Structure formats: structure tokens, C-alpha cells
Structure 1
Amino acid sequence: MTEVHGSRSNMFCERAVLGNEASVEQFFVNRLISALDYADDQVRPKESLDELMVNQGRSRKRYRPDYALEVDGTVRWVIEAKAVGESLESFVGQAASYCHHLNASHHDGNPVTHFLMTNGLTTELYQWDRQDPILRLSFTDFDESNPKWKQLKEMLCPDSLSSRRWTVQPTLFESSLTINQSSISEINAAFAWCHKLIYRRENYSYSAAFMEFVKVVFLKLLSDKSVHGNSRAVFADDGSIAVPASEVRFSLSWIERMEEDSPNPVADIQFRNLVRQLEEEIRQRKKKRIFSPGEILDLSPETIKGVVGKLEKIDLYSMDSDLNGRLFETFLNATLRGKDLGQFFTPRSVVKLATRLADLQVSREHVDTVIDACCGTGGFLIESLSDMWGKVEASQTLSPSEKSRIRDEIATEHIFGIDVAKEPALARIARINMYLHGDGGSRVYQVDALDKRFHSHAAESQEVRSEKEEFKRIAGKQVFDVALTNPPFAKEYARKTDAERQILEQYVLAYQNTARSRTPVARLKSSMMFIERYHDLLKPGGRLVTVIDDSILGGDREERVRSFIREKFIVVAVVSLPGDAFQRSQARVKTSIVVLQKKNFPEEEQRPIFMYYCTRVGIDEVARQRVLPVDELNRKAAEQEIEEVGKLYRDFLSGDSAISDWIVPAEAISKRMDVKACLPSAGRNVEKWVRDGHRVAEVGELLRSAFFDPEDATLLSSDRSEDVILAADSDEMVTLLRVRYDGTPEVGETIAASDSTYDTLYRVRAGDIVISHINAVHGAVAVIPEQLDGLVATKEYTVCRPREGYHPFLIWQLLRTPEARADLLLSSTGMGRTRVDWSIVSKLQLPVPSEEVSKATVEAIQKARDLEQQARELYQSAGTSIGTALNLDNAEARALLAAFKPPR
């Protein structure tokens, strides 16, 4: 505690001269060192000291103290000076950690005995391995007759330290436990192993085994958190931490020591104490429930030992530190698969980009209040916490005490999460995540956010009812500045059950309004409902930053949702995500991030919109568990793209006209809102091609449809009518054509024409160009070779013939270029599986190459085709030769294969 009254001077200086850190060093610390009888060559200033990696809370940083004092050529104690008014307590950990590093380099003992902290008005002396002061002096205690000054001088003077032997502290080297930072793949593998152990040994379901494992991991995280804050921990440059084994609770050695008191000490001692502690915090209304009253860790001692042994040397607390611990997403990825994971998981780069676009505001006067009403395991909540804490720490205008106050305020009052899931109880997992990262989950609620009335049910406990009532009161005040969220894509509410019907009736979007009637819709996607729900929860002017299915932004059936958005919000930004952004959850949904601002008044006009299309964000999260070198490259590429988009968006918000390429006018979103429809346009290079002297032609000038008149898509052409097969009237066996993404045609399934799901089939001929309606944008365009003449194509293909003067290979190459496929994609219909039929392909504009380039292109492709044919013939010849020579190809072998080969 800093003294503020009393004498205006002490033996070193006047109180009035002390202010910033420099003045404390000049007028107080330098004179203190001299009074302790240190010569100049015994004083090492900051500039001469090595920077070491030390711990500061849960993070690590480079640090060196202001002074180190040597006796007999060895550093024996250090000094850290601060400005008047700065809290010394905030800096004790890094000074203690620095002393540990110095002592760790001396295997014959611990020469550094103390460190001293001072802001001029308060001075505290600490033993090197403790974080509580052993001596505290006020400004006026520095007087020749004061006993505290005499004690300090006796302990720290050179003569005393020279005669004092170094204390030996072998525990760091002879009985220590080292925990190490591990890669995501290593943690995935360890978690999967532990989950499987619990699942098999304890006969639990996958979900129940998961919840038991969550309990064990909670204890592990608490233990790791304690290790990071341990004054005796030694931090190595590789991220590992050595700590006395006796001080690590999550360890086999701790279990062995405690087994005399309990046969299952982790369950009976650690977990029960944790539950009792949490219950007391719930009773005091400091925390929300994580575990049920009296809940137990229901695992056998052998299983717990197996899990502890697997995890005790892995540092989970610092895992993925840029996101402050995406622990449970990592675990879910290791233990769950496919669409089950989709409801929990948002790729970390998508979370980071969305949070950047949220532009969260933190200042002395205002702190944004954030909500995620479908928070899952808390990824957006933790990233919001990290983002706002980072802005507080980076502030140049806030004092240390203000920073501490605002950090606490953010954690306990400004981050809200809601999730309705009960199996597993994701809200409780989010509370664990938040509890371990600063807020205790005090603002995470297990309620159905889509139920605007927060109905209670007879079977609910009083605690659940109270939780609903608490959030109901908060929701009614519209306290939220930002909603940062990823609603579930596929979940729907239908009128089939009373509960869901009651919820649907609360929503404007659950009714189809016409000039004459208001008709209820049968079902409604929850992602649409959340748009309306967040409008209810946000303040006027509040921002909704949400991942959204592109069908909502551009689909014909979703126009009424877009009308609602245009009526209630200002569209600020739309950032398109790659199609594979959610590959880990096997969700084949094209998505975007939208930033919507709730209108302050109904007449508020739409402004120009920032739009961008990402190519790398989201693809850094792969579906496979094995980590490959390309994953690290993808992660860095995603991070770089986040920085690029973040900068462009800041420039947009500041009104910088230099980014006009990424701004669309308000009228651009009058129909569709997706980036593909509003920002880029097909044919964007036509003028450039003309300027460069190329002739530009529509594809319809180079090709003609083999079966349909260009003026009437329903009219059959006479020259190929014999190749049209009316499936219902035909008993012919036909072989279907397939076209791969690389443009290779191949033999497909052989079926009876009458069994086809299509009413009409089209026989292809050598030299035909076949274009896939669904996959042309991926390159599925093929020239039919002689050996595939006679295969049949369905209506999912357009079969074409080159016009006179154009070789099919030339047109094939043109249609498969990135430019052609990009323009087809921009012109395509559909929001999911994009489609391009002949009416779109025929209007595609492309430059026509010169005769010289055309000839060279055709010759190169023909040569490649000839070489491919030669390769096929050589393969066949080799097989025939060895089969004949050794009788490896015979009738009996073929009969056995036909009889017993497994089905495809």
C-alpha cells in the first residue's frame, strides 16, 4: 500500500521529486544502492542485462529488471523500479521468474537470494522463490535510525552477501516435473486416446465419456494454471516449464502420495473440493453452474491414472494462446466426427476474422457488451475477451489501475453467452472455458435464446428458472452493443410440436405476408430466426456480426428474409468465405460473414457496403486428424488474409476512397446480397482483350448445341435425332458418360435405359464437346474420343459440336481456363451447387486466339492424347505378356473373381 501522508522527505530525497519511473530511479534507487555500500562495478544497469522469457499471468514475455547487484562477480539480487502510483503486485511474478532463470543456470545452488520492488513511496523485499514480501518499507522508513532500514541494509549489503553461503535448492533438478507445449495434432491424439480409454473401460456412451473427460480436463487446466503462476517455475525458451513435482496436483506422483488417505484421490479429494468451491460461488451468485450439486467424478482409479499419465506432461493452459485456449473444440475434433461436430465448431480463422470485423470498442468511457446466443463451447466469447483485453493492454492513456479495473469489468459484465444444448451441455463447457480465462462463466446461460418469452417448464429446477429470469431481465433492457455469432445452419423449428409452434408464433419471419393475408410458414431455419432475435436484443445502432448461409443472401426463396434485413438493419459489410471453410464439420454450405447495424430509426438509409471475397480463411481447419506441412502454410495464409481484410475494413470505416474496388453502392443489394452477385462481374476483362487486339466472341459463335436449337431449348435438331433416347420407351442397355474435373471423359455405369431417372438420354459421338451443368466451373468439360463413341449423357450435360473452323481441342482448352470457369461461376444459378446450362455457356465471352496459337495448342493436346494412348497400350501389352507367359490370366481366375468379388 502506498503511503500518502507524513514527512515530505527521507534520507534520499524530497517526496515531491518522485513521479515517473525515471525520477524514482534517479532520486531514490541510485541513492539507495549507494547507501547500501555498492561500488559502481557491482551495479549492472538494465542495458547490460540479458532479456529472458518470463511468465506474466497466463502469458509470457521478454523481460529484464532495472538493476542487478553483484557480489564476488555473481548477481545476488535485482531491483525493479516503477512510477509513483503504479501497483507493485502486478510485476512481482516477472521479477520472481527472472530470479528463477538466473538460479537455474547455477547447478550448484541459488546465488540470487532476493528481489526488491519499489515505486519510491513503497518498497518491498522478496525472497527469490516467494511472491509475498518479507519486508515492506514506506517512504519515511528510509531513515538512519529506523529499524526497518537497518534490517534491509543488513540483509542486502555486500559484506553480508559475501559471507552468506548459497542455498542449495535441488528440487528444480532432482525432483521436478516438466510440462511442455504440444502441437494440435499431439493434443488431438492424446485426447482421443483418453476418451477411448474412458469409453472402453467404463462402458460409457461416447457423450457420457466426453462429459467425464471434461471433468478430468478441468482439473488438469486448474493444475496447469497453478503451474504458470508458480513462483518457483522455470520457463525455457522452447515453452516448457519445470516446477517442483511436489507442487503439481495433476500428476501421478501426487496421486501416489495421497493414496494413503484415499483410494481414488483425484475423484475423492480434488474433484469433490472443486465442486464444493463452485457451489459456494454459485450460492454467493458469483458463478453459474458447471457441475450438478454433489456431482462426482465417476471414473475408476485405474482409468484416472491412465488419463493423468497421458496428460501430466502436456501444457494445456497455454495451448493455442492466440485464441486463449480453444481446448474443447480441439477435443471435439478428436472425438466426434461429421455433422455432429458442425453444431459445435467454427474454424478459428473465421472466429478471428469475424471478431476483427466486429470492431469491438474499449475505452475509459465505454466498453462494448457482446453476446453470442448460440455460443457452443465459447469460441467467440473467448476471442472477444482476448480482443478487448488486448486493446486495454495496448492503450497508452489508461493507468495500470484503470487497466486492471476495465479488464475485470469486461470479463464479468460485458461478455454474454447462451446455448440451449443439453447433450452435451455446451453452456457448461463454455463456462469452464471462461472460468479458466478470467470470468468464471458468470454470464453464460443455458436457455433457449430463440424463445423470446423464456417459457418455464414444470420439470425445471428453481436454479434453471432463476437463470431464465435473470437473462430475461437483461434481454429486456437491450444492453448489447455487438452480437458475434455463428448460428447452426441446418436446425429448423416446425409447427408439428406445441413447444416449437409457440416459439414460431413469436417471430415476424414465421409468417408469409401478402397484400391480402398473413400466412404462417410450416417451418423456419433457426439461422433466419436468430437474425430477428438479435435485432430484438441489440441496442439501436448495435452491430450483428454473423456467419450466414449464402442461400439467405441470394436464394429466391429467402427474399423475404432479405427484405426483413433491409427493413431493420443497415448492411455494413459482407465478406464471402471459401466453399470449404466448414469442411471439418462436413457442412457443404457456402457461407459469408455479414456485418449488420440495427437501424436507429426506420427511415435510416442504406449506405455503400464493404464487400470482399476470401480465398484462405477457414481452409486452415482440415477434416483429417493427421497434420501435414501444408496445414501450417494454410494457417499462415489465413492469418495474412485476416490482416488484409481487417486493414481494408478499417480504411472503409474511416472513409478512405482508395479501397473503392471493395465498395458497392447501396442499390447493389436491392435483390441479392451475396458478394458473388454484387461485387465481381462476368466479362470484366473483355475491354482489356479488345484493347490488346484480340477478337472477342461468345462461345455460341464457336460451338453449337448438338440437340437443341439455340433459339428454342425444347426443339430437337434433326441431324442428331437418332441419338436421342426416350428412356421410358427403350429396353436398350446403355453405358453412361462421366466427366472428371480434369476434363477426362470416362465410362460410367451400364443400365437399362428404362431404369434411368431421366426421361431423355443423349448419345455422344467422337469429337463432341460435353459440358457438365453442375461441375463445369470445376473443369468438367470433355472432348469425346473414338473409344467412347456411343456412350450416353443425361440432361445434366450439354452436348455440343464445334462450328466450322474451330477444332474441339481448342474450344475444350478455352472453356477450362481459370478465366472462363470464373466467369461461368459468376453467371451460374443456384447458391449451393452452382449450375451452368447452355443458355449461360453460349453467352460466355472469350478471346479467340490467333491461327498460330490455335495450331500450337491443338498440336500439343493431340500429342498428349497420342502419348496417353501409347501408355494405355503398353500397360495392356505388359499385362498380356506376363499373363500369357505364367498363365496368370485364365478362365478359372476370371470365374472366381466374377463369383466372389465384393460389391462396389
Structure 2
Amino acid sequence: MPSSFNSQRNMFCDRAVLGNEASVETFFVNRLLEELGYRDGQIKTKESLTKLMVSEGRQRKMYRPDYALEVDNTIRWVVEAKARDESLLPFVGQAASYCHKINASHRDGNPVTHFIMTNGDQTEVYEWDRQDPILSLSFKDFDGVSEKWVKLKEIMSPDAFASKGWSSQPSLFETSMTIRPASISEINAAFAWCHKFIYRRENYSYSAAFMEFVKVVFLKLLSDKAIHANPEASVSEDGTLQIPANEVKFSTAWIERMERESPNPVADVQFGNLVRDLEEEIRKRNKKRIFNPGEILDLSPETIKGVVAKLQDLDLYSMDSDLNGRLFETFLNATLRGKDLGQFFTPRSVVKLATRLADLQVRRDHVDTMIDACCGTGGFLIESLSDMWAKVDGNKSLSAAEKGKLREDIATQRIFGIDVAKEPALARIARINMYLHGDGGSRVYQLDALDKRVRSHPTETREVRDEKDEFKYVAETSGFDVALTNPPFAKEYARKTDVERQILDQYELAFQDSGRTRKPVSSLKSSMMFIERYHDLLRPGGRLVTVIDDSILGGDREKRIRSYVRDKFIVKAVVSLPGDAFQRSQARVKTSIVVLQKKHHPEEEQTPVFMYYCTRVGIDEVARQRVLPIDEENRKAAEAEIEKVGSLYKAFLDGRADADDWTVAADAINGRMDVKACLPSPGRNVEKWQDAGHKVLSVGEMLRPAFGAVEISADGLQSIDRASDIVVPAENDDLVTLLRVRYDGVAESGETIVASDSTYDVLYKVKAGDVVISHINAVHGAVAVIPVELEGMVATKEYTVCRPREGYHPFLIWQMLRTPEARADLLLASTGMGRTRVDWGIVSQLQLPVPSVEVSEAAVKAVEDARSLERKAQALYETAARTLGASLNLDNAEARALLAAFKPPR
């Protein structure tokens, strides 16, 4: 082309700069639209437009133009740009078809009136329903004065469309949508409805219905993520998002418009495109597999539309970062959720506290690499990502470029997750979680982390083998700085199968020293195996922060596990969690968080240990779905406790005095390692009471046992005060009523049985005034004084029955034993790691201050008055019932006979 021609210029650019399509858009179309008077908010670029099925000759394809122009929030015309050497004619049909599709979505009228085709050299204006252009302009016609330029401005400026007064029924392209934040209970209720809707309509199994639902929720989350990133979205103070409806794919309006082109558009178009895009990322090794090749969303159009209608207005992306974990917990039943395997999901506050204790390092010269080798749905992974990104963003010494590089490095190279579960595939759900939070799950693996050899099998696909090889290489060549995890508590590996036997043979902990030989154990809990596995995976000096069953820290059978820990690690911290911390997972397991540092060499000495006992962390997540005001209070209390523990641990690491009260000597963990055994001790207030002038006595000096005490049963029945009240079941067929003592300190009648049916070898008849102490539940307040009406009932050996010594009233001792101070001391002195037992040997040694005569008499009188009022209240109830029954004949012999004849057994 002659140089003189290249040098030609119009009002927008030199012709020479127009080459490919991108340059035509940048130097010609963008400037043209600005000159016509369109604001940025009125110009919709290709990326923000919805692909539609359009006609191209005899073929059909998914298509969207390069630009769409809005006036009054309604698309009025579109632009298709091409390279300067491309002919416009072959593309006219698809642009016209796109305009037709938009107009077809409106019930009244056709808002899209024109489209423009241009390659810079030639620009043609079409009315949407005509095959020939109504105006053609050459490059030179754009000079600001030509007749064609004036005509173009007249028919295509914003004012020209506004003056036409377009008005129609709302459609996807002209209305806005509101996407609002929702509470956890509202989300859970919506999810429950959707899951049940799918389960019932599609005849799927419970788990299969769940996995199809996960696919739909994934599309919803992607849509919400795009909305949050869309500059067209406006956010109100309460977090509500307002966005043009045509920017939202996850909506019934989008489905209704697309139904003209596809019978099931969400499944065919949205999910189909998603799977294809992910497959391309997998092929490039940028992502790990989430869905199988060619996997489909196997739900009917009606079912999908119902789920979309239920969820479209809710903002899921702004929910708690472990949304998918919550979703998973909500819908899988106990077996699928892994309860039988001990696989419990970690409360968010526990995750946050553990991550705080992990103290993940992010600096210019070093970024920690973390791993959770039993990651489940990815809670620890997401929290680590959030924590490390926050440290990057908060570092004022970093440039924007440095921050961006560090964030990408953290997301793609520093956070590793593993999960073995295949049905359901937890690792894939974790990948979804990470994908939606900036990573894509590129370092989440589905394999058995406890197999140290990470063995592949011939039946596995090349993709699976490559995945294992990739992790094995990282583990063997670089290792990890931090393991942050909550391994399953109850799952065991046993030598009954070849696979598990071969894995056990890899573990030092799977063998016990027996004289001169090493004897293999028959089975080993995976939680114990993970301690050894993480030791292998961590670099010297690396930190293991793990939730652990307290039985490992203090149980007699786990001594050798603790010995292994002391040999291989420096114990930095043990933080006790409340007994109800895992109530949402219906797990009755007392747990702690431990921080262990891998030794650099075997001779490295144990240092003092930070210990703390939490009372609020974990209990902020309740099993019930209904939200109560107390839940917000518990959440704030848990957050405050996390902050306190984190600050104290930092003070401990810095050697500050703030943490002295929460520090124990190194030799304190030579036996047990649990906080209860090492930090607090019973009798801590004895000196204070004595200094205040109070007389301090042991319970054994105020009570003497009549039944259930170890020292008495050893002497035989003849040493018991009332031997005549002993019932020997093997020798007695009389009916007896078992005594029960409630947590509130009230004794009541229990089951009536034939004495010989009792599983106990001896029972004891109680009398009025006896003090009865539960061995199992005394720490909960299960101590009672027997009233007259319960005299003659029998207590089992799970109780100690006592009589007050001279000078001490049973009501006084009863009240003292039920005080928080007494129960706390009993708890600290108790044995066992599960249900806390306190026998007479422990109770008798409990020391308590003796109140003055005046205080004692006042306390006893108050109890006597209360019991008198209770008896009066009971008499009034009975009088009311008799009066009503007599006046209306509601209590008669025939009614009583019918009850006696037909009432079901208790």
C-alpha cells in the first residue's frame, strides 16, 4: 500500500495504526463512541455481554458483539469491529441475529434499533431487521463536517434514542437485579430446600443429589463473584448489590431468554462452558480436576430453574470463606459426612485460632509453605490464604507490584491440601473453594497422605499418577514450614487388609518395643499416624499446629505416643478447647490445639510450654439451624478469646511477663500433656481462705461414707452403717426403684426393676437425709440430699452415699459441693480423659472453707424453707386437680380403668 495512503488521517486516528481488530477498537471505535456522546457507563464491552445462540448462514453458534450501547439502562444498538483487511458482509447476519434475540426477550416492542459494522476503512449502519445498510461511511467521512458524519450523529447519538421515548415491559436487558447478603440460617434454609427439591424431583440418592447441587452452587458462586468484580454493580451500606439484570447469568430471566436456543441452557451453556474451560486449564497443568471430562449437570430444566429461582437473589460469595464446608456439613448425613470415620468438620473459630497460633510468615525473603494433609472441604486452606494475604496487604513497605507477586505466589505455590475421600470427593470440593478464592485448587490433591510412598497403581489414570508424582516430588525435595490441620480422630488403619498393612509397616508408631524385638500393633488411629507423617513432611524447625483428641495428651494407653512427640518435637503450646467445641458435628470428643516444632537434632531440649484453657472458642457454632440472639454474643466472645490467646502466645514467644501465668515448666509435660493436668491445680484458693480467717476442712472430715466408697467396699459389707439396707441382686427378686440424681441437685425416682435383673452385684437403700454423690456427674452438680418421699429407693455403685458427721447439716454440705469452686476442684482432681469420674477417694480430699455458724444456719434455713414451699406447691397442684376432676367428673373409676387397661408401656 502506498505510503501516502498510510499517512491519511481522519478526526480519530491515522489510517496506518489500523491493523488488527484490537487496534480498530482502540483507535477508532472507542473514540467514535466518545465523540457520539456516550459515557463509560453506557458502553458495554464484549466481556460484559451475554453470549447468545445466533444464526450464521445455516449454522448456529454462540456469539456476542464487541460493544453494546445503552440509553436509559436499555441496550439500543450494538457494534461489531473487524480487522481492516476483513470484509464486513460475512458477519452482518450474526450481528442482526443478536439484535433479534435481545428484542425477542421483550414483550412489548423492539428496543434494539440498529447495529454498526466497521473495520475502520468502511463503517456501515444497519437497522436491526434490514439486510442492507442505511448509511455507509469511508475512513475519510469521519472529518467532523461531512454530510454522512452529520447524519451518523443525528441517528446514533444518545439523545436520538432518548427522544424516541422507548418504554416496554421489563426484560433481562433493561431491569436491574438486587443481590443481597443473607444470614447463615437463611442460606442453610435455602440450601435445604434446594437439596430436598432435587432429591425428590430427580429420584437421586442423597449423596448424588448433593453432588448435582454442588454443581449448581458452583455456577451461582461464579456468578456472584463476577458481580462483585463488576464496576456496574453498586453496593449499599448493608452490603446489598444493585446491578443491571443483563450482567447476571444466574437468573430465571437469563434462562427464559436462552430457552429459545437451548432446552436446558444452564446445563448446556453455563456448565458446559465451565467444564470445557476447566479442562483446558487442566491440560495446561494450571488447575487440578474438579469435574470429570465431559461431565454434565444432570438435572432437568424445571429442577434447575426452581433452584435458580430460590438462590438468585442471595449473595453467596460474601458469605464466610468456608461456605462450601458449611454447605457440605448441612446436607450430608452422619454416615456420608464421615461421622463413623471420625471425620468431623472444624468450627470456624477453631480454624481461626489454630491459624493465629500457626503464625504464618510472609516476608520479602521468606514465605511459609503450609499443608493440611486431611483438608476436607478446605477450611484451613482458605483461612491460611486469607491470613497470608492480609499480611501482604498490611505490609506498608511493599510496593503494589511486590504485593501482587506475593499474593500470586501464596495462592498458587504456598498452600497445599490433601484429602483421601472419594465418595464424596472432598478434595474436589476443596478445589472449588480455593478456585473461588483466588487459587483454583492447583495444590489440592486427592490421595492418601498417610501412604508415605505415595504409591500409584496400574489401574489409575495418567492424570492421577501425575498428580501423585507431583506431590511426591514437592514432599521429598522441599517439604513444608507449617502443617495446619484437624485429622480424623476415630479412623483406624488395621493389618486386616494388605493395603493398610503395607501403610502401617511404614510407621515407627505402628511397632512397639517388646524386650529385644519390635512387635507390630494390630491397628493404629490415623490421628496418631498423622503426627508421624507431618514430622516427615515438615522441614527442621517446621511447625505442626493440630487439633488433637485429649486422650492422646493424657490417656494411659497413649504414653508411647507422647514419648514419640517429646522425642521428635519441641512442644510449644497446648490450648484446651471446650468440651462442646465440636457440637455442630455431633462429636462428643474433648480436644485441644497443640503447637509442635520439629527438632533440628535429637538432643534439642524441651523449653517451657504455653498453655491456656478456652471457654468460648468453638461453641459459637451450634447444631441447630434456628438463629438465636445468644449466637451473636457467642461469636463475639469467641473472637475476643481468639484475640486474647493470640496476644498471650505472642507474648510467650517474645519472653514477656504477660504470659507468665500461662506458662509451665518443661518438665511439667514429662507425663501428661493436657492443660488440665499441667496448668491449674486443685486447692488453689486454700491459702486465701485461711488468710481470710476461714477454717478449711476436707469433705472427708464433714461426711462419712455409707455406700459406694472404695475403702469401705474393700472391708466387706459388715463395716457399712446400715448393713440391713444392702440389697444383693443375686439373692433378691423384690421390686426396687433405682435412684437418679439430676444435674440441678434434685434426687428423683428412676426405673423400677426386679432386683435380680440388675447388672450390679450390690445395691443400697437410701434414707432421708443421706447425701448422694454421683461418680460420673458430680462435676455437673449431680449431688443430692434424699427427701423423705424417696426413702427406700436404691443407689448403685455409681454413687457414693454419705452421712454428715456430727455438727454438719446435709443441706449445708450439699450446697457447698455444688458450688463452682468445689466442682472445678473435683474436675481438676478427676481421672480419665472422657467422661470425668470422681470417686470417694477424690471427693473426700476436696478442701472447702467452713462458714460461720450464722452463715450455716441461714443457708440451711433457706433450703428448708424452699423445700417447704415446694411441698406446699405440690399440694396446691393436687388440690387443683382434685377440684377440677370432681366438679367435671374428669377423674373417675372408668377413666382410670381404661388407662390401666390400655396405656402403652413406659
| TM-score interval, smaller chain | 0.7 to 0.9
Distance 2:491 2:755 in 1: 39
Quote the residue 2:810 is aligned against.
808
1:327 to 323, 332, 353: 323
Distance 1:470 1:266 in 2: 34
**Aligned residue identity for 2:889:** N
Q: More deviation in 890-899 or 410-419?
A: 890-899
Instruction: Note closer, same or farther for the CA distance 1:441–1:710 as it changes in structure 2 (3 Å cut).
Output: closer
CA-CA distance at 1:396 after TM superposition: 1.3
User: Is the 1:334–1:625 Cα contact (8 Å) retained in structure 2?
Assistant: no
Question: TM-score, normalised to structure 1's length?
Answer: 0.80
Q: More deviation in 453-462 or 731-740?
A: 453-462
CA-CA distance at 1:108 after TM superposition: 8.7
Quote the residue 1:285 is aligned against.
285
Structure 2 counterpart SS, 1:846: strand
Distance 1:498 1:901 in 2: 56
Quote the residue 1:555 is aligned against.
555
CA-CA distance at 1:235 after TM superposition: 1.1
User: Is the 1:735–1:750 Cα contact (8 Å) retained in structure 2?
Assistant: yes
CA-CA distance at 1:745 after TM superposition: 0.2
Instruction: Note closer, same or farther for the CA distance 1:397–1:864 as it changes in structure 2 (3 Å cut).
Output: same
Quote the residue 1:719 is aligned against.
721
Distance 2:440 2:365 in 1: 25
**Aligned residue identity for 1:333:** E
CA-CA distance at 1:517 after TM superposition: 2.5
Quote the residue 2:894 is aligned against.
892
Quote the residue 1:191 is aligned against.
191
Instruction: Note closer, same or farther for the CA distance 1:200–1:486 as it changes in structure 2 (3 Å cut).
Output: same
User: Is the 1:481–1:539 Cα contact (8 Å) retained in structure 2?
Assistant: yes
1:210 aligns with 2:210: yes
Quote the residue 2:836 is aligned against.
834
Instruction: Note closer, same or farther for the CA distance 1:587–1:709 as it changes in structure 2 (3 Å cut).
Output: closer
CA-CA distance at 1:891 after TM superposition: 3.1
**Aligned residue identity for 1:375:** C
CA-CA distance at 1:579 after TM superposition: 0.2
CA-CA distance at 1:172 after TM superposition: 11
Quote the residue 2:10 is aligned against.
none
Distance 2:733 2:458 in 1: 64
Quote the residue 1:361 is aligned against.
361
1:775 to 777, 780, 789: 777
User: Is the 2:540–2:600 Cα contact (8 Å) retained in structure 1?
Assistant: yes
User: Is the 1:377–1:426 Cα contact (8 Å) retained in structure 2?
Assistant: yes
2:858 to 840, 856, 859: 856
CA-CA distance at 1:283 after TM superposition: 0.5
User: Is the 2:760–2:796 Cα contact (8 Å) retained in structure 1?
Assistant: yes
The residue correspondences of 1:450-849 to structure 2 (distance < 5 A) are 450-707=450-707, 712-715=712-715, 716=717, 717-849=719-851
Distance 1:397 1:524 in 2: 49
1:307 aligns with 2:307: yes
Q: More deviation in 171-180 or 867-876?
A: 171-180
**Aligned residue identity for 2:325:** E
Quote the residue 1:247 is aligned against.
247
Give a deviation string over 1:426-474, Cα, whole Å, max 9, x none. 0000000000101110000000001111222343222111111111111
Give a deviation string over 1:635-687, Cα, whole Å, max 9, x none. 01000100010110111111102321000000000000000000000000000
The residue correspondences of 1:347-426 to structure 2 (distance < 5 A) are 347-426=347-426
Distance 1:340 1:903 in 2: 35
Give a deviation string over 1:39-67, Cα, whole Å, max 9, x none. xxxxxxxxxxxxxxxxxxxxxxxxxxxxx
Structure 2 counterpart SS, 1:539: strand
CA-CA distance at 1:899 after TM superposition: 4.0
Instruction: Note closer, same or farther for the CA distance 1:433–1:164 as it changes in structure 2 (3 Å cut).
Output: closer
Quote the residue 2:224 is aligned against.
224
Stretches of structure 1 that go unaligned for 5 or more consecutive residues are 1-75, 79-106, 111-150, 152-162
Give a deviation string over 1:222-256, Cα, whole Å, max 9, x none. 11111111121111111111111111111111111
1:336 aligns with 2:338: no
Distance 2:724 2:618 in 1: 50
Distance 1:404 1:217 in 2: 29
Quote the residue 2:63 is aligned against.
none
Distance 2:364 2:810 in 1: 69
User: Is the 2:223–2:250 Cα contact (8 Å) retained in structure 1?
Assistant: yes
**Aligned residue identity for 1:428:** R
Distance 2:746 2:459 in 1: 62
Distance 2:73 2:223 in 1: 27
Instruction: Note closer, same or farther for the CA distance 1:413–1:893 as it changes in structure 2 (3 Å cut).
Output: same
Quote the residue 2:884 is aligned against.
882
User: Is the 1:184–1:330 Cα contact (8 Å) retained in structure 2?
Assistant: no
Quote the residue 2:13 is aligned against.
none
Give a deviation string over 1:604-639, Cα, whole Å, max 9, x none. 000000000000000001011111111111001000
Distance 1:489 1:812 in 2: 38
Give a deviation string over 1:356-408, Cα, whole Å, max 9, x none. 00000001110000000000000000000000000000001110000000000
User: Is the 2:180–2:239 Cα contact (8 Å) retained in structure 1?
Assistant: yes
**Aligned residue identity for 2:893:** A
**Aligned residue identity for 1:816:** R
Question: TM-score, normalised to structure 2's length?
Answer: 0.80
CA-CA distance at 1:516 after TM superposition: 2.9
Quote the residue 1:133 is aligned against.
none
User: Is the 1:189–1:334 Cα contact (8 Å) retained in structure 2?
Assistant: no
Distance 1:727 1:455 in 2: 59
CA-CA distance at 1:166 after TM superposition: 12
Structure 2 counterpart SS, 1:566: helix
**Aligned residue identity for 2:821:** E
CA-CA distance at 1:339 after TM superposition: 6.5
**Aligned residue identity for 2:395:** S
CA-CA distance at 1:892 after TM superposition: 3.0
**Aligned residue identity for 1:570:** I
CA-CA distance at 1:894 after TM superposition: 2.8
User: Is the 1:232–1:243 Cα contact (8 Å) retained in structure 2?
Assistant: yes
CA-CA distance at 1:336 after TM superposition: 3.1
Distance 1:186 1:453 in 2: 45
Distance 1:899 1:486 in 2: 56
Distance 2:384 2:518 in 1: 40
**Aligned residue identity for 2:591:** T
Count of aligned positions: 747
**Aligned residue identity for 1:494:** A
- Greater Rg by CA: 2
User: Is the 2:207–2:332 Cα contact (8 Å) retained in structure 1?
Assistant: no
Distance 1:903 1:281 in 2: 65
User: Is the 1:344–1:377 Cα contact (8 Å) retained in structure 2?
Assistant: no
CA-CA distance at 1:423 after TM superposition: 1.2
CA-CA distance at 1:257 after TM superposition: 1.1
Distance 1:166 1:728 in 2: 104
Distance 1:895 1:559 in 2: 62
Give a deviation string over 1:715-758, Cα, whole Å, max 9, x none. 23243111111112211211000000000000000011111111
Tell me the C-alpha RMSD between the 2 structures: 2.2
Instruction: Note closer, same or farther for the CA distance 1:291–1:856 as it changes in structure 2 (3 Å cut).
Output: same
User: Is the 1:478–1:536 Cα contact (8 Å) retained in structure 2?
Assistant: no
Structure 1 counterpart SS, 2:772: strand
Distance 1:724 1:167 in 2: 101
Distance 1:641 1:709 in 2: 40
Distance 1:338 1:621 in 2: 17
Distance 1:899 1:685 in 2: 59
User: Is the 1:708–1:714 Cα contact (8 Å) retained in structure 2?
Assistant: no
Distance 1:548 1:302 in 2: 46
CA-CA distance at 1:822 after TM superposition: 0.1
